Structure 1
Amino acid sequence: MAGLIPFGGRRPRIDGTAFVAAGARLIGDVEIGAQASIWYNCVLRGDVNRIRIGARTNVQDGTVIHVDSPKPGKDGGHPTIIGADVLIGHMAMIHGCVLHDRAFVGLGAIVMDGCEIESGGMLAAGAMLTPGRRIPSGQLWAGRPARYLRDLSAEELAGHAAGVAHYVALAQAHREALSGA
């Protein structure tokens, strides 16, 4: 089982249907929803604020998710709130932001403090969304710093839904394979 580490009187809470791969580290105030998947060697560090991961969301291998501390003038800091059916690609950096239901973050992308990706919004692989930026629903942003590239097609949005279903099934297959190991 993954490294579940209590911190500051809080311990990770994981729905019984979620998959957390070996080598992942979940620290402090982290909550994982139903059928979500946290893949190999991810770090979710809810030590100075909270992390919430919604149902059927997948966080792919090597991703780091952290939060922003409360500060003077910013009493709540920035927790990381990730909705349902979100796809987060390998090696992404997610920090103190909100990813709404059905958002997409590409491989190696960076989402910084105070950012928001609306439902159906996408940050391309390798892109960096700088602090306080917002990707509207149905838009693709790319680059460093990220900028609007184009609207997503209906086929791309449908492919996102298929990707979510794929990862739910793949997580179940990994759970079964590991239980027989």
Structure 2
Amino acid sequence: MHPTVFIAPGAVVLGDVTLGAQASVWYGAVLRGDVDAIVIGEKTNLQDGTIVHVDTGHPARIGARVGVGHRAILHGCTVEDDCLIGMGSVLLNGAHIGTGSVVAAGAVVPEDTRVPPGSLVVGVPARVTRRVDDALRARIRDTWEHYVAEAARHRAGAFPLARTSL
């Protein structure tokens, strides 16, 4: 594992999982590469409560500079570089999200759906509603840049876990 990777206490990473430089796996996230591979690109963040899982024949490949929002579920799917996956969204086996796309919070991307590069998808089931504009491209960049910086702070011990008594 690259020394710049941050895996938060309480996150679970097991099986065939590869994490790129400056990737971060946040509190309560689970990456379970038990029956196929999970590959996470550099500077990608898997925020609190995210689940990445696979099926046999359905690896999970998440590109570089991707922000994956809190409690998202990515199951046997592909997300290309420079994407934003909204909080609580679900990507099912065989879903393929093209470069520079945004999946809105709460969207469900059905099995084997191909989202073209630069698309905004919303809803249940997820549908392309428009092209990603400059403002959304900036938000994608701001998200991964923020999490790269925060991961470095957390890795350095800036936020020690509180000790509680019951």
Output the amino acid matched with 1:116. Answer: H
Q: 1:26-175 counterparts in 2 under 5 A?
A: 26-69=13-56, 77-175=57-155
Tell me: higher relative CO, structure 1 or 2? Use CA pairs within 8 A at least 6 residues apart.
Answer: 2
Post-superposition offset of 1:180: 6.5
Deviation, structure 1 residue 104? 1.5
Looking at structure 2, the residues matched to 178 and 53 of structure 1 have their Cα atoms a distance apart, in angstroms, of 25
- Contact 1:35/1:168, CA 8 A, preserved across alignment: yes
User: In the comparison of the two structures, how many residue pairs are matched?
Assistant: 161
In structure 1, the residue corresponding to 2:157 is in which secondary structure? helix
**Residue 179 of structure 1: how far off its partner (Å):** 8.2
Pairwise CA distance, 1:178: 5.4
Amino acid at match of 1:57: T
User: Which string of whole-angstrom CA distances, capped at 9 and with x for unpartnered residues, describes residues 104-128 of structure 1?
Assistant: 1100000000010011011100000
Q: Which amino acid aligns with 1:126?
A: G
Return structure 1 stretches of 4+ with deviation > 6 angstroms: none
Whole-Å separation in 2 of the counterparts to 1:123 and 1:180: 33
The CA RMSD measured in Å over matched residues stands at 1.3
Partner SS, residue 39 of structure 2: strand
- Structure 2: 5+ residue stretches without partners: 162-166
CA deviations on 1:42-65 (whole Å, 9 max, x unpaired) are: 110000000000100000000010
Give 3-state SS (helix, strand or coil) of 2:71's partner. coil
TM-score (norm 1): 0.86
Q: Deviations over 1:63-88 (max 9, x none)?
A: 0100111xxxxxxx110011100110
State how far apart, in whole Å, the 2-side matches of 1:121 and 1:134 are: 11
TM-score, normalised relative to structure 2? 0.93
- Judging changes above 3 Å, is the alpha-carbon distance between structure 1 residues 92 and 78 closer, same or farther for their aligned structure 2 residues? same
